[in-house]
Amino acid sequence: MKIFLCGYMGSGKSLVLHSLSQKSGYPKIDLDDQISLITENTISEIFDLKGELFFRKLESKVLEDILQEPKSLIVALGGGTPTYGNNLQLIKEAEDAKLVYLKASIDCLTERLHKEMDERPLISHLNSKKELEDFIRKHLFERSYFYNQADIIVNVDQKTPQEITREIWMLLK
């Protein structure tokens, strides 16, 4: 089985990836880390040097390669991965794949991301917490259509990665 974690940036995909990998014994792949490894650039550098379109095309190619892997895996997708091209369809049509949406509220995401604004290329241009909240609200509205097609939806507000992992594992059984 391949378990794909999706959700908005700051929803805890990377933290849950590690916890779920430990619980399941499945190897883990962070899609952004994989792309950085291939390009030898950070995601911010890729955005700056080559632009978002280049990044999204590469992201789709790496996702296709992961879907071809014969072994069980846990994969943390980028926040925009399911919204680009036919990425969502590829995951949904894969026989051995389960898509898990880590659903966080706007308030939760704003609190988490406010501390990391400078490190995240999509929000580094914002100047205030209010601008960040408005940005999240708009993007979450646009992306919810894709996220809500997940096989499993887990609310992550006020939960530790271990609690989220237990809930996902129980729902997968």
- Mean pLDDT of the region 13-39: 95
Band the pLDDT of 21: cuts 50, 70, 90.
very high
What average pLDDT does range 21-30 have in this prediction? 96
- Domain definitions of the chain by residue range: 2-172
Residue position matching structure tokens 């980028």:
78
Question: What pLDDT, on the 0 to 100 scale, is given for residue 48?
Answer: 87
Two structure tokens written together for 140? 């979450």
pLDDT for the residue 44: 83
Residue 30 CB neighbour total at 10 angstroms:
19
User: Minimal CA–CA distance to 160: which of 16, 23, 14?
Assistant: 16
Tell me the whole-structure pTM to 2 decimals: 0.93
Return the C-alpha torsion angle 136, 144, 4, 166, nearest 10: 80
**Tens digit of each residue's pLDDT (9 = 90 or more) over 75-123:** 999 999 999 999 999 999 998 999 999 999 999 999 999 998 888 878 8
CB atoms within 10 A of CB 13: 24
Instruction: Please report, rounded to a whole number, the percentage of residues in the chain having pLDDT higher than 70.
Output: 100
42-55: per-residue pLDDT in tens? Answer: 988 898 899 889 99
Angle formed at CA 28 by CA 25 and CA 32, multiple of 5 degrees? 170
Architecture of the CATH domain 2-172: 3-Layer(aba) Sandwich (3.40)
What is the sign of the dihedral through the CA atoms of 137, 109, 104 and 69?
positive
Mean pLDDT of the chain: 94
